[in-house]
Amino acid sequence: MKSQFRQVALIGKYHAAVSGAAASTRAALDDIAHFLHAQGCEVVFDRDTASSAGITGYTTLDVAAIGQQCDLVLVVGGDGTMLGIGRQLARHGVPLIGINQGRLGFITDIPLDLYRATLEPMLRGEYEEDQRSLMHGRVMRDGHCVFEALAMNDVVVNRGATSGMVELRVEVDGHFVANQRADGLIVASPTGSTAYSLSAGGPLLHPSTQGWVLVPIAPHTLSNRPIVLPESSEITIEVVSGRDASANFDMQSLASLLHGDRITVRRSQHSVRFLHPRGWTYFDTLRRKLHWYEK
């Protein structure tokens, strides 16, 4: 039985050549492309991926065109690659499968050496679907939006690299919560609860949890603890004091902040669709990646 996905796009690490992994990346992408073709799929490459890896002989499209035309996207790389692509493709609703060529792989969960055995039944329609919410963050200055971005993992307000703590005023749905003095504050999604938030002492949130977690970074007052909020909330963080603060969106986009700037975080209208092997559970991923005891 052939694939239920007619046109499949391949996207890999954009900077493989810089990291010295160009040869292995090209070999992996080329091997996967041949496998997909044998399954009856029309293979398309992301234009930047093909250029970076030196791959020729395939139709190439930019990410927006992939979202509009393709039935499935295979992302070969690590979680950072998937985060960037997921944000760009969410508005198109195209499903994503992650093949892990990185280290952790919380959202690129298929090991590269097992991709053939894993993908074959998935392409026939044997898979689990998993939808992840996105956050829409904005930086407001004097009533005007000066910066905005989507985030799948987290929105982080950080102190400057050489300065002391920042003081941040936190509101939820227009209600004052607290003024916090800390190195920063993280607003994380369930997907991002295994990223920076976890390192800062935040809880793990199951992907089906409809909530955000608000996590202070090294707070001055130890009673400032992580709090889980409904994802329907709008969270506002105002910079009261502190130098050189910045707002980071999945640690890939940032804006320099001034006193009085207000960072608002709300749920995006878009979500990311992940496909996993049949029988996949979130707990399997946690057990492998966090090295929990296995009986």
Domains of the chain: 7-125 (3.40.50.10330), 134-269 (2.60.200.30)
What percentage of the chain exceeds 70 in pLDDT?
95
Amino acid, single-letter form, for residue 259 = H
Tokens of 159: 């102190």
User: For residue range 161-205, what is the model confidence (pLDDT) as tens digits?
Assistant: 777 899 999 999 999 999 999 999 999 999 999 999 999 999 999
Q: Please, which pLDDT band fits residue 14 given cuts at 50, 70 and 90?
A: low
Structure tokens at 185: 């504050």
pLDDT for 122-167, tens place per residue?
Answer: 999 999 999 999 999 999 999 999 999 999 999 999 998 777 899 9
pLDDT at 21: 59
CB neighbourhood size of 219 (10 A): 19
Tell me the β-bridge partners of 271: 133
What's the mean pLDDT in 269-290?
Answer: 92
Share of the chain above pLDDT 90, in %: 77
Q: Is the pLDDT of residue 294 over 90?
A: no
Lowest mean pLDDT: which of 8-22, 98-112, 180-194, 247-261? Answer: 8-22
Under DSSP, the state recorded for 73 is E
Whole-angstrom distance, CA of residue 11 vs CA of residue 29: 8
**The whole model's pTM is what?**
0.91
Catalytic residues: 79
